[in-house]
Amino acid sequence: MVDTAEAEQLLRRGLRSRGRGGQGSEVTSGPAHTHTAMADGIHGYSELTNSSYFLTFKRFFNMTVVPIFLISFVPNLVILIWYTVMHCQGSYLKMAEMFQGRTTLAGLRDIWAMVNYPTTPIVAIFVGYCLYALVMMKVLPGKFVKGPLTPKGNVPVYKDNGFLHYLVTVAIFWGLVVALRPYGLSPSIIYDRFDEVLFLLNIFSLVFCALLYVKGRVAPSTSDSGSSGNIIFDYYWGMELYPRVLGFDVKVFTNCRFGLTVWALLVCVHAVKSYELHGFVDSMFVSCFLQLLYLTKFFWWEAGYMSTIDIMVDRAGFYICWGCLVFVPGFYTSASYYMVGHPVHLGPALTALFLVMGAASIYINYDADDQKQLVRATDGDCLIWGRKPEVIRAKYRLETGEEKSSILLASGWWGVSRHFHYIPEIMLSFFWCVPALGENVMPYSYAIWIVILLSHRSFRDDTKCANKYGAYWQEYCKKVPQKIVPYVY
């Protein structure tokens, strides 16, 4: 723990450095930093406002070129997943043949030409589900919980009814499977027409993000909003940290009640389709079971999710909203989507091994998230691995200049490495991909993606925390030098 006198001295130094006109966002300038970087995330506006020629180019590249590239390119990714599964027997090599001897654009154009426009049943299911989820957000009971203090000093309040929403939704799904069967109706229509689903989700999310941009400009919900001065970047990154429309929190809807719930429902759809085609398949069972266990854990812990980067840092723009509305349903589900057409019989030994290893990884990931929450909820008055936790009582400043304090846990999983919980997160995803065994790389897409995402995220979070906590974060880094992998990295 940082000694109080030392902390006060560091705090005074931090104040002096701001007195000299700094933003207080340099790690070395003292602990009581302004909260600007937290407000703006890794794509912070403040770091992009330097007027040198190089930084002007960097600013143009980061705030215009990269967003335009991502907005126009990433919608293709989910279509490529669909094309690989439905037209290339799940082989990326076969998919790549579409691009041989021609431009990427020509290949993409021909793939898109195979995608069907959304038909009435798909549009009806989508609209029906969105309305259902919105109603459930309001009517299901739940305690009101406070989110983390924002850079502008606001404290968002959330209704903690995610777990109930998840259980009720999955139960209704299986109820409908049974009830509709005698009429020859099956949710496997969603698997059969997934191209229509992805087309619809892409169009919806592009329009939805445009509406969020307009709302952020003309009627922001809170003071945690603002423009970078670049319309493209504002569309991409978002204007508001937690916009609300008619009392509905937009990010709770897009991230939790749509993205992660639809992920669970699609996994159930894959299970139904696989059963219709092949009867019981143990590899599909393992993959679906682990994904659903992971999502059950997520919704059980949903209030804790409100203190993560997705909510505290990422504004409601294309980056996070397209990700949750399209990429999660279209890409995160890719392992079981692939397995529908590739039934593998694992046998009892491998089935048990993958289930146990996957469930253990889910537990460790949950436990790490829980330790962080517990130590803050009890102000450090708890036991972590049977001992008093080692904590750093860190000070920081809001954009308003108000000084605040928080706790950094430096023992338990958070003493092993600074983002140790990412290792079980990677392992658990591997265990729901590996039942597909070795015929193709495609079912491992999610596991590969999560390695990239979490490596990048560890940098984003370290940057955010270094800017927020300054010397206190350095103190933590000294105590816990490794970013993710103990003794290695």
Chain positions contacting ligand NDP, by CB under 6 A: 148, 307-310, 365, 369, 372, 406, 408-409, 414, 419, 421-422, 425, 450, 453, 457, 461, 464-465, 468
Q: Which is nearer to ligand NDP, 108 or 320 (CB)?
A: 320
| Count of Cβ atoms closer than 10 Å to residue 365 Cβ | 24
Q: Which is nearer to ligand NDP, 257 or 457 (CB)?
A: 457
CB of 331 to ligand NDP, least distance (A): 10
CB of 436 to ligand NDP, least distance (A): 19
168-204 burial, b at 16+ Cβ within 10 Å, e below that, comes to ebbeebeeebeeeeeeeebbbbbbebbbbbbbbbbeb
CB of 115 to ligand NDP, least distance (A): 25
CB of 330 to ligand NDP, least distance (A): 13
Q: Are 443 and 335 in contact (CB under 8 A)?
A: yes
CB of 278 to ligand NDP, least distance (A): 28
Q: Which is nearer to ligand NDP, 341 or 380 (CB)?
A: 380
Residue 161 to residue 140: CA distance in whole angstroms:
6
Q: Which is nearer to ligand NDP, 159 or 419 (CB)?
A: 419
Residue 387 to residue 176: CA distance in whole angstroms:
48
Q: Are 320 and 310 in contact (CB under 8 A)?
A: yes
Residue 228 to residue 251: CA distance in whole angstroms:
20
CB of 221 to ligand NDP, least distance (A): 21
Residue nearest to ligand NDP (CB): 308
DSSP code for 225: B
Q: Which is nearer to ligand NDP, 178 or 452 (CB)?
A: 452
Q: Are 408 and 443 in contact (CB under 8 A)?
A: no
Q: Which is nearer to ligand NDP, 147 or 243 (CB)?
A: 147
Residue 310 to residue 323: CA distance in whole angstroms:
11
Residue 390 to residue 2: CA distance in whole angstroms:
10
CB of 458 to ligand NDP, least distance (A): 8
Q: Which is nearer to ligand NDP, 234 or 461 (CB)?
A: 461
66-94 burial, b at 16+ Cβ within 10 Å, e below that, comes to ebeeebeebbbbbbbbbbbbbebebeeee
Q: Are 435 and 344 in contact (CB under 8 A)?
A: yes
Q: Which is nearer to ligand NDP, 147 or 317 (CB)?
A: 147
CB of 224 to ligand NDP, least distance (A): 14
